[in-house]
Chain A
Amino acid sequence: GESVGLHLPTLSVQEGDNSIINCAYSNSASDYFIWYKQESGKGPQFIIDIRSNMDKRQGQRVTVLLNKTVKHLSLQIAATQPGDSAVYFCAESEYGNKLVFGAGTILRVKS
């Protein structure tokens, strides 16, 4: 697949298990955070976002956790499915400025 040769962190999980993808961000002044999923040959697809006045937000099968103290963001996916296999990106922005993307994590779901 397209991920061959990419030296991104890889998370392999069994179908049905929960996945946790982590992201360390750099700017303590960032006030908006967002997770994207990118499948092979496609553009990044919005999953969930969170603002700095919150520490947790839930969507359908996904939860984002924000720890501003240690500048850490995580994406939890419940009951991971084969269709969740993709590269996941976190991104941050400060006061409406540009989005700065992290390096990405490959999620592989084993059936």
Chain B
Amino acid sequence: DTAVSQTPKYLVTQMGNDKSIKCEQNLGHDTMYWYKQDSKKFLKIMFSYNNKELIINETVPNRFSPKSPDKAHLNLHINSLELGDSAVYFCASSLGTVSNQPQHFGDGTRLSIL
């Protein structure tokens, strides 16, 4: 299946830990994104990479570090997890930049901090 896939689907961990979420797309897209969706369903962009180059970096704590080893992968590493990091994190990809093509989303990683 062609898709944006992210792992794990659920992540439960304790405050202070470091964790990573992986994302892969096999759609041949060259732009990838990370979004955070809070408990009120509000969806906000965090980062965007185009051909492995960071192009959007919103006001996100530097505990969050995206890494793009190639244009089909965009991973998110989070250091020193805090209670407020609990949310659903979505990876997305698009063929071009935002105004050219729609973004396709993965099914999310639900992060719960204890």
Contacts and interface: CB of A to CB of B under 8 A. Distances in A.
B96 to A, nearest CB: 8
A104 B38 CA distance: 12
A98 B103 CA distance: 11
B43 A101 contact: yes
Sorting the interface of chain A by its residue count into under 10, 10 to 19, 20 to 34 or 35 or more gives 20 to 34
26 contacts: A6-B40, A8-B41, A31-B99, A32-B98, A34-B103, A36-B105, A42-B108, A43-B4, A43-B105, A43-B107, A43-B108, A44-B43, A44-B90, A44-B105, A45-B105, A46-B102, A51-B99, A96-B97, A96-B98, A97-B56, A98-B58, A99-B45, A99-B98, A101-B42, A101-B44, A103-B40
Interface of A: 6-8, 31-32, 34, 36, 38, 41-46, 49, 51, 87, 89, 93, 95-99, 101, 103-104
